[in-house]
């Protein structure tokens, strides 16, 4: 075999080995991709609405999980308040003998029942307190729902803002690439300088960096929403074009009525009612509960004597509680006073918050009209300058500046639509309305 033939054979073997290695690597890459690729779940691809995100987040809350048990406790308390006795009856058993002393055969057996009795007015006060506790359980759950709704709304609109940023960044990148391609073609033909092509390439790189930053923000907002709702919204899909119309704006004349039934106010009202019922119940519990005792005694005086049967009926009346009663009564009155003061402050705060939210919605609507007008003008100007740039009547820096202004106007218009929807959502939150 000549050296030239030997060289050709070596090259052929090397080529075959390289091809086999490439096929093996491709097979391994496909297998690894099939193994490590995360499964596409319905929650990752299906759209997630604000109401669905709230429902999912509320189902994960400790208050929701313990709500049924609290309702059972409230019903049990109501049943206990309707019972005939404040405490269960007690069975008393006793025996007496002289076997360890004189051992004359004396014996005595006693069987009795002690029944606690309600104090005057205690039963009705206990029933009223049980009803107030039941109502407070429901209002406490509704207030917890409203707090969860505030957190979900904030995360939801932050995600929408991130989606807008990604959408506008992608549009800006696409437009920059179109301009860069046009400039590269004209630079190759000799109509533009290499410096112009460098400027457009720099604009493309800047747009790519902005897109990467926006996508990072979108991923963070998406994961935050996933941590709340337990399911991530769809990562793809067009952003909402008219989010303001997607939310039902509360009627101005219904704002006052909604404020009266606000969940936070209702919770404080029920807590104040519970405190007042505790004051009324404590006033009736100035002493421990009396006890009615009924006992049967069978005794024998000595060995050989006939056994005697007797019936004992008695009542046990404790003395007044004294300072202990004063402590309970003072604490109950202090709690009731605190609840009433907190209720007044909360009503004023919610009124101011609702008015501020309403003004913010009106301001957002005015701002949206202005930025949409600006975006329209910027789009028209971009068309004019694009045409003049293609005809060579406008220089590249002016074209890039007009493109940046148009992109900023589009981003501001899209973000203002989101801010309007967020303002309407915040207004509904201030009025105590849950997501629809």
Share above pLDDT 90 across residues of the chain, in percent, rounded to a whole number: 32
| Residue-level pLDDT at 391 | 81
Dihedral angle, C-alpha 262, 268, 270, 275, nearest 10 °: -170
Q: Which residue has the higher pLDDT, 370 or 45?
A: 370
| Residue-level pLDDT at 211 | 92
Q: Check pLDDT > 80 for residue 49.
A: yes
| Residue-level pLDDT at 111 | 93
229-285 confidence digits (pLDDT tens): 887 776 654 444 445 445 556 666 655 566 778 889 999 999 999 999 999 998 888
Q: Check pLDDT > 50 for residue 164.
A: yes
Q: Give the mean model confidence (pLDDT) for residues 194-216.
A: 90
385-406 confidence digits (pLDDT tens): 888 888 878 888 888 888 888 8
| Residue-level pLDDT at 139 | 93
Q: Where are the domains of the chain?
A: 47-83+118-286+321-430, 87-117+296-320
| Residue-level pLDDT at 7 | 39
Q: Which residue has the higher pLDDT, 47 or 195?
A: 195
| Residue-level pLDDT at 235 | 60
Q: Check pLDDT > 50 for residue 293.
A: yes
Length of the chain: 436
Q: Check pLDDT > 90 for residue 370.
A: yes
Q: Check pLDDT > 50 for residue 89.
A: yes
| Pair 361, 424: CB distance under 8 Å | yes
Q: Give the mean model confidence (pLDDT) for residues 138-162.
A: 93
| Residue-level pLDDT at 236 | 53
Range of lowest pLDDT (24-33, 150-159, 208-217): 24-33
Q: Give the mean model confidence (pLDDT) for residues 102-110.
A: 82
Share above pLDDT 70 across residues of the chain, in percent, rounded to a whole number: 83
Q: Check pLDDT > 70 for residue 40.
A: no
Of the pLDDT bands very low, low, confident and very high (cuts 50, 70, 90), residue 36 is: very low
Range of lowest pLDDT (67-71, 134-138, 287-291): 287-291
C-alpha–C-alpha distance, residues 158 and 228, integer Å: 13
Q: Give the mean model confidence (pLDDT) for residues 399-419.
A: 88
Q: Check pLDDT > 50 for residue 38.
A: no
Q: Give the mean model confidence (pLDDT) for residues 115-144.
A: 92
Q: What is the mean pLDDT of the chain?
A: 81
Q: Could you say which architecture CATH assigns to the domain 47-83+118-286+321-430?
A: Up-down Bundle (1.20)
């Amino acid at each position: 075999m000549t050296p030239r033939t030997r060289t050709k054979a070596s090259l052929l073997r090397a080529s075959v080995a390289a091809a086999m290695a490439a096929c093996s690597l491709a097979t391994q890459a496909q297998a690894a991709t099939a193994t490590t690729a995360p499964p596409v779940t319905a929650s990752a691809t299906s759209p997630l609405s604000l109401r669905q995100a709230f429902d999912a987040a509320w189902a994960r809350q400790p208050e929701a999980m313990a709500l049924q048990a609290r309702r059972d406790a409230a019903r049990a308390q109501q049943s206990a308040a309707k019972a005939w006795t404040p405490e269960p009856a007690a069975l008393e058993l006793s025996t007496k003998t002289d076997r360890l002393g004189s051992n004359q055969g004396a014996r005595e057996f006693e069987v009795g029942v002690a029944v606690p009795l309600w104090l005057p007015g205690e039963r009705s006060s206990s029933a009223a307190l049980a009803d107030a506790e039941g109502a407070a359980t429901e209002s406490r759950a509704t207030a917890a729902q409203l707090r969860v709704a505030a957190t979900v709304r904030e995360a939801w609109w932050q995600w929408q803002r991130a989606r807008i940023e990604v959408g506008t960044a992608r549009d800006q990148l696409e437009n920059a690439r179109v301009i860069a391609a046009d400039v590269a073609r004209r630079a190759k033909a000799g109509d533009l300088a290499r410096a112009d092509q460098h400027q457009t390439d720099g604009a493309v790189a800047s747009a790519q960096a902005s897109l990467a930053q926006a996508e990072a923000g979108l991923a963070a907002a998406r994961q935050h929403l996933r941590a709340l709702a337990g399911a991530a919204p769809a990562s793809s899909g067009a952003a909402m074009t008219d989010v303001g119309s997607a939310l039902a704006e509360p009627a101005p004349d219904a704002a006052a009525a909604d404020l009266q039934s606000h969940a936070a106010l209702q919770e404080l009202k029920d807590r104040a009612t519970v405190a007042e019922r505790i004051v009324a119940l404590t006033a009736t519990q100035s002493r421990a509960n009396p006890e009615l005792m009924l006992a049967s005694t069978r005794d024998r005086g000595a060995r050989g004597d006939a056994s005697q049967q007797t019936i004992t009926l008695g009542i046990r009346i404790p003395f007044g509680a004294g300072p202990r009663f004063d402590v309970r009564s003072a604490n109950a009155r202090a709690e009731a006073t605190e609840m009433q003061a907190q209720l007044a402050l909360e009503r004023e705060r919610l009124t101011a918050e609702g008015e501020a939210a309403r003004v913010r919605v009106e301001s957002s609507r005015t701002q949206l009209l202005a930025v949409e007008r600006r975006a329209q003008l910027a789009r028209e100007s971009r068309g004019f300058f694009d045409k003049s740039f293609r005809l060579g009547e406008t220089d590249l820096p002016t074209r890039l500046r007009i493109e940046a202004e148009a992109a900023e106007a589009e981003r501001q218009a899209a973000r203002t639509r989101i801010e309007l929807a967020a303002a309407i959502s915040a207004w509904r939150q201030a009025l105590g309305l849950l997501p629809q």
